[in-house]
């Protein structure tokens, strides 16, 4: 995808450049660019193709962040002017951010086609290594300068290189993090007006319009009796690519895929049966699969779980054309599970009978936490993930053929981003940039949703959502995501707490409550914070435990139910808490934040089918046993003289109800750290 000049040419150019660390500038004609000016670089237009900004300990914009303080054209190398110090390179596990023959690449979008005269870089390196500077496009880069960075102390300073080219995009490429370039300044002239920096919206993001019955979801690993998923509109199922692409005999395009990871052929109903689909049929819920790992043939032998799901080993993982096999698997999935019936003779399945158009999947998540920094050589940079997604969505705009990509099997199907390990909007911004510059249609591939993962944790201890500023964090993420791609759903795909206090993600303890009750309290508070952040969905981690309640492993006691050794299901108090929340607020959506001050926080939901019905979610944001007795909750003018106070309780799917009198527009309530609901009808 990203084209570079052949290596032997690079060596020649580097050698020539190294003979003179101060190359002669080729002056741009005065008729086209009379006085080259310092080019303004906006942070939102600097793109990190390696994807390290969130977890790699470096900031790509550090390459330009001190431009306002320097003017190297006017400074002598040995002057005492301002010395830029911020390093853009990754510092944490840097090796994963320098793919072979590509290195760490930072691309700058100048927004208009500048006549670029020259570039200056401030070189603070101590170890010599190769650096390249390009102009052009993401599909066709032209090498404009190549040099070896400084190798010893005392040689720090500005180095300048001629560019003499018209371009909108500039890329600098580093071989390794040995190179320390602390600033880069471009000079040139713009033939047209320069767009201003983006304006940021103050205040919170708009609340979701979704009712709570279509807001909640849960993660699980297999089918479970539908009644346990009843509170959850979404069922995000962990799936493994190796189960769907299990064929280690045939090569593409003769691969046979298996769609029976979660189901089997049932002679009694003369159809395939999938337990996860029961909730869809009974409650109108939605299911999607979060694909993990590699096809079976790649998981064997020395390769293990390394790399990307390319069609053959050795193919360029940043080229969409390398993912034909995976895209063909996705086509077969959409043909089998999607809403459109296709000619079954075109399907390639290892089981029969072949059937199409089950109408049970419409969203596809083609990966999970590919950006995880702890997985080393399984790490996936943004360009690699874009390449796979362009193939998986529509066969890279049909270049791979009409049997590749979900859209070519079922035009109602959409992609969702593989869940990100944290609230990394920078990576989404790079995805958008890649779509704009590498696809002819500039289509943002993940219209099914942008999915973030986040756990309330500090210093390896679970903390409350209020201590974590969860609502505020998510609101900021929603605003940024909307700027990147307006209208795309924002999904909190993983969030939750373990019950066992030995876990590093254990729910904080509350006086007088069991571990499961504490878990339930903080899940409720997280759900509420997410709803009032502007996010569109909250997907709980996790639905079902299979381990004992005293297992200290992280995320091993985070379920709301436990599957016992004999296969029976035991619900925890947290399952009843969430059930009561959904049952009581099924038709409600966030309406107004009443208070987030002191020891009483209040949020107002409104019934979308009966707008005169409102619900107040009220609690103390602490975790030390704080209570506020006889608090007067103002509910305004109501049609009745009483209200319903709902308390969350173990073994009560609708909670406990107490009738409360409304006096002069107020309801007196004892506020606790465990939330309560107050339901009234307004005039």
160-170 pLDDT, tens digit per residue, is 999 999 999 99
Q: How confident is the model at residue 22 (pLDDT cuts 50, 70, 90)?
A: very low
Please choose, from the candidates 589, 572, 470, the residue with its C-alpha nearest in 3D space to the C-alpha of residue 520.
Answer: 572
Q: How confident is the model at residue 113 (pLDDT cuts 50, 70, 90)?
A: very high
How would you classify residue 31: left for phi > 0, otherwise alpha for psi between -120 and 50, otherwise beta? alpha
Alpha-carbon Rg for the chain in angstroms:
28
State the pLDDT at residue 205. Answer: 92
Please choose, from the candidates 290, 286, 291, the residue with its C-alpha nearest in 3D space to the C-alpha of residue 232.
Answer: 286
Question: Domain spanning 7-189: which CATH class is it, in words?
Answer: mainly beta
Higher pLDDT, 11 or 625: 625
Higher pLDDT, 682 or 204: 682
Residue 375 has pLDDT above 80, yes or no: no
Q: CA-CA distance, 323 to 345, in Å (whole number)? A: 23
Residue 546 has pLDDT above 90, yes or no: yes
Per-residue burial over 79-94, b if 16 or more Cβ lie within 10 Å, else e, is eeeeebeebbbbeeeb
Please choose, from the candidates 360, 356, 361, 378, the residue with its C-alpha nearest in 3D space to the C-alpha of residue 369.
Answer: 378
Sort strands 234-240 and 216-220 into parallel, antiparallel or unpaired: parallel
pTM of the complete model = 0.94
Higher pLDDT, 477 or 15: 477
Q: CA-CA distance, 92 to 283, in Å (whole number)? A: 46
CB 496 within 8 A of CB 541: yes
Residue 7 has pLDDT above 50, yes or no: no
Q: Where are the domains of the chain?
A: 7-189, 212-330+364-585, 589-681
- Contacting residues for 74 by C-beta, under 8 A, at least 6 apart: none
Mean pLDDT of the region 295-320: 85
Mean pLDDT of the region 58-77: 90
State the pLDDT at residue 23. Answer: 35
Which ranges of 560-661 does DSSP label H, i.e. alpha helix? 573-585
Give CATH for domain 212-330+364-585. Answer: 3.20.20.80
Residue 312 has pLDDT above 90, yes or no: yes
What is the three-class DSSP state of 438? helix
Query: Tens digit of pLDDT for each residue in 520-533?
Result: 999 999 999 999 99
Please choose, from the candidates 294, 290, 351, the residue with its C-alpha nearest in 3D space to the C-alpha of residue 326.
Answer: 294
| Structure tokens that stand for 103 in this block | 């290195």
| Structure tokens that stand for 501 in this block | 């206090």
Mean pLDDT of the region 249-253: 97
Question: Domain spanning 589-681: which CATH class is it, in words?
Answer: mainly beta
H helix and E strand count, the chain: 9, 30
Q: CA-CA distance, 299 to 284, in Å (whole number)? A: 36
Query: Tens digit of pLDDT for each residue in 442-461?
Result: 999 999 999 999 999 999 99
Q: CA-CA distance, 241 to 162, in Å (whole number)? A: 49
Q: Residue 249 phi/psi, 5° resolution?
A: -110, -50
Angle at 381 between CA 377 and CA 386, to 5 degrees: 130
CB 286 within 8 A of CB 363: yes
State the pLDDT at residue 380. Answer: 95
Query: Tens digit of pLDDT for each residue in 570-623?
Result: 999 999 999 999 999 999 999 999 999 999 999 999 999 999 999 999 999 999
Q: CA-CA distance, 266 to 276, in Å (whole number)? A: 15
State the pLDDT at residue 32. Answer: 54
Q: Look up residue 20 and give its DSSP letter.
A: -
Query: Tens digit of pLDDT for each residue in 334-367?
Result: 999 999 999 999 999 999 999 999 999 999 999 9
Q: How confident is the model at residue 153 (pLDDT cuts 50, 70, 90)?
A: confident
Looking at the chain, the whole-number percentage of residues with pLDDT higher than 70 is: 93
CB 396 within 8 A of CB 417: no
């Amino acid at each position: 995808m990203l084209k570079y000049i052949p290596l032997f040419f690079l060596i020649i150019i580097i050698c020539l450049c190294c003979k003179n660390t101060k190359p002669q500038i080729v002056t741009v004609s005065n008729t086209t660019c009379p006085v080259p000016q310092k080019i303004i670089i906006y942070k939102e237009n600097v793109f990190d193709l390696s994807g390290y900004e969130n977890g790699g300990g470096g900031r790509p914009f550090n390459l330009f962040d001190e431009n306002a303080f320097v003017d190297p054209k006017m400074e002598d190398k040995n002057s005492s002017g301002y010395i830029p110090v911020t390093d853009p390179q990754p510092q944490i596990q840097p090796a994963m951010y320098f793919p072979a023959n590509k290195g760490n690449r930072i691309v700058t979008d100048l927004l208009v086609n500048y006549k670029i005269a020259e570039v200056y870089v401030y070189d603070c390196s101590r170890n010599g290594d190769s650096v390249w500077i390009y102009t052009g496009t993401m599909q066709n880069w032209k090498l404009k300068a190549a040099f070896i960075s400084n190798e010893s102390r005392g040689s720090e300073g500005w180095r300048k290189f001629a560019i003499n080219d018209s371009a909108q995009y500039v890329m600098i490429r580093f071989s390794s993090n040995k190179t320390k370039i602390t600033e880069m300044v471009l000079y040139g002239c713009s033939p047209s007006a320069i767009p201003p920096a983006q304006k940021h919206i103050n205040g919170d993001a708009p609340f979701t319009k979704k009712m709570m019955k279509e807001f909640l979801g849960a993660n699980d690993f297999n089918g479970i009796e539908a009644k346990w998923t009843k509170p959850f509109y979404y069922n995000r199922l962990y799936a493994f690519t190796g189960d769907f692409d299990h064929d280690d005999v045939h090569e593409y395009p003769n691969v046979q895929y298996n769609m029976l990871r979660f189901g089997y052929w049932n002679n009694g109903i003369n159809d395939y049966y999938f337990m996860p689909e029961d909730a869809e049929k009974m409650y109108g819920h939605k299911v999607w699969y979060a694909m993990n790992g590699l096809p079976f043939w790649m998981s064997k032998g020395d390769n293990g779980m390394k790399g990307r799901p390319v069609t053959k080993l050795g193919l360029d993982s940043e080229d969409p054309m390398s993912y034909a096999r995976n895209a063909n698997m996705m086509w077969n999935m959409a043909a089998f599970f999607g809403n459109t019936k296709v000619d079954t003779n075109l399907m390639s399945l290892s089981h029969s009978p072949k059937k199409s158009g089950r109408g049970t999947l419409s969203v596809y998540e083609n990966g999970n936490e590919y950006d995880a920094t702890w997985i080393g050589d399984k790490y996936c940079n943004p360009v690699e993930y874009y390449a796979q997604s362009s193939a998986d969505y529509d066969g890279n705009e049909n270049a791979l053929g009409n049997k590749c990509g979900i859209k070519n099997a079922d035009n109602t199907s959409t992609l969702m981003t593989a869940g990100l390990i944290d609230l990394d909007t920078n990576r989404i911004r790079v995805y958008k940039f890649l779509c704009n510059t590498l696809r002819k249609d500039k289509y943002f591939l993940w219209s099914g949703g942008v999915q973030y993962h986040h756990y309330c944790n500090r210093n390896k201890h679970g903390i409350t959502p209020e201590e974590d500023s969860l609502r505020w964090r998510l609101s900021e993420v929603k605003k940024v995501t909307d700027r990147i791609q307006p209208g795309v759903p924002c999904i909190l795909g993983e969030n939750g707490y373990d019950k066992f206090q030995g876990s590093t993600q254990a729910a904080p303890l509350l006086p007088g409550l069991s571990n499961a009750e504490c878990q339930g309290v903080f899940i409720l508070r997280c759900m509420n914070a997410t709803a009032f952040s502007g996010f569109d969905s909250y997907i709980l981690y996790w639905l079902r435990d299979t381990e004992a309640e005293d297992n200290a492993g992280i995320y091993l006691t985070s379920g709301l139910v436990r599957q016992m050794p004999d296969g029976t299901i035991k619900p925890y108090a947290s399952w009843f808490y969430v059930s009561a929340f959904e049952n009581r607020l099924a038709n409600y959506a966030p309406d107004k934040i009443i208070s987030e001050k002191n020891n009483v926080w209040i949020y107002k939901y409104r019934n979308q089918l009966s707008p005169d019905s409102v619900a107040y979610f009220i609690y103390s944001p602490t975790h030390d046993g704080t209570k506020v007795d006889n608090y007067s909750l103002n509910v305004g003018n109501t049609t009745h003289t009483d209200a319903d106070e709902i308390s969350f309780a173990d073994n009560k799917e609708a909670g406990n109800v107490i009738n409360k009198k409304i006096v002069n527009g107020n309801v007196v309530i004892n506020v606790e750290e465990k939330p309560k609901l107050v339901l009234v009808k307004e005039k």
